[in-house]
Structures are given as C-alpha cells and as structure tokens.
C-alpha cells in the first residue's frame, strides 16, 4: 500500500484533478495518467500549477514535480524528493492470461486508497479511444472517479498495468464493471525512453 498514493493536481483558476499514482522506483519516481495531470481548453493541452501526493497512512500532502506526459499513451511521470516510498515490483504484462484474478488499487471516489478485485477478460486489446489507438488490458472490474493512474496488480502484488479509463454507451452513460488498463510493458518502455 505504500507504493500507491493519492494524487491531486490543482490550479487556482481551473480547480482540481484527483487521481492516483504509483511509485515505480526507490528514488521517488511516480507513474500516473496524463489525463490526471493535464487539462484541455479549446483543444490545447495545459498542465496544472501544483501537484501533490498523499500516502494511505498520512494526513499530509507532499509536493510532487511533473516530469513528462504523453497524451496518446495516457502516461505521465512525477517525482518527489526525500521519498519514504516503497517502489512496486513490476511484472511482465505479456504473462497475463484470460481469467487471471487482478486487483485495482487507487483513490476511489477521492476517499483514500482502496482495493477492488476483478478478472482479466482480455489480456491485450487494441482499442480506439479519445482519438488514439491504444493497447489495453480489459478487466471485469469496478473502478470509479479517482482510480485513474492507479495500480492493476496480480495475485503476487506485482504491477501489471495502470488504470486508465472506462467507456460510455451510446447514450453517454458510463459502462460500470468494465475497466481498461495500460499494460505494464508499455509503461516500462515509456519510462526507459523518457526518464533519465
């Protein structure tokens, strides 16, 4: 649980964006979703003024710095100094199978870090979403607002994905019980290519 934290992005004139972030290295490197740390006005992408994280066992927020983001992949990285975090162990997402039991850990409904249980319904799916084509893991899993950027883990507690989005039906209603996650291999490649 020390590897997954609440994330708050804020700007005075815009307001707040609430989500989750995951520690992926012992030096304070965090991964989350790009849509949590950015906002759009008239098709232009902007970053928030401030970012802060909070551990599950703490009342205080710690300042974080945004390093980089990719809207197409919906991945972003942040970093904090003097981290007391424990980085999560990352597994190979190619080993995910149909029917695997998985757990989503995140800041569900902005009520603190919590955990949900589900199963993999498709271990690798190419899906068009938000003007982009993305590789995702589809899970029968309940996620809510605030889970974005959270950890998808296997039964060993290893990171196999990052929670990213839910779809809407033709009437614009959210389809509950189905979650899409970025495979861990996509995340690690992004970190390797973009974080020094």
Q: Of all residues in the chain, what percent carry a pLDDT higher than 70?
A: 93
Domain 93-193 -> CATH class: mainly beta
Q: Which residues are catalytic?
A: 35, 74, 148
Average pLDDT over residues 145-163: 94
Average pLDDT over residues 46-67: 93
Is pLDDT of 106 > 70? yes
- For residue range 121-139, what is the model confidence (pLDDT) as tens digits? 999 999 887 777 889 999 9
Average pLDDT over residues 140-162: 92
Average pLDDT over residues 109-113: 87
How is domain 4-87 classified at the architecture level of CATH? Beta Barrel (2.40)
The model's confidence at residue 167, banded by pLDDT at 50, 70 and 90, is: low
Cβ neighbors of 104 (< 8 A, separation 6 or more) are: 115, 116, 118, 139, 141, 143, 147, 150, 151, 152, 153, 163, 179, 181
Query: Where exactly does CATH 2.40.10.10 map onto the chain?
Result: 4-87, 93-193
pLDDT of residue 169: 60
Is pLDDT of 193 > 80? yes
């Amino acid at each position: 649980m020390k590897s997954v934290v609440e994330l708050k992005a804020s700007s005075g004139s815009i307001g707040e964006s609430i989500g989750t972030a995951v520690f992926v290295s012992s030096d304070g490197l965090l991964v989350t979703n790009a849509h949590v740390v950015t906002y759009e006005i008239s098709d232009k992408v902007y970053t928030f003024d401030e970012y802060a994280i909070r551990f599950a066992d703490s009342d205080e927020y710690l300042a974080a710095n945004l390093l980089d983001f990719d809207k197409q992949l919906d991945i972003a990285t942040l970093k904090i100094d003097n981290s007391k975090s424990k980085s999560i162990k990352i597994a190979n997402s190619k080993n995910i199978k149909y029917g695997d039991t998985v757990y989503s850990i995140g800041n569900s409904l902005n009520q603190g870090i919590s955990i949900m249980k589900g199963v993999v319904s498709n271990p690798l799916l190419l899906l068009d979403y938000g003007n982009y084509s993305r590789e995702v893991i589809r899970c029968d899993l309940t996620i809510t607002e605030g889970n974005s950027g959270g950890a998808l883990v296997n039964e060993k507690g290893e990171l196999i994905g990052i929670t990213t989005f839910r779809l809407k039906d033709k009437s614009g209603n959210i389809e509950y019980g189905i979650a899409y996650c970025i495979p861990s291999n996509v995340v690690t490649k992004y970190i390797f290519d973009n974080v020094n």
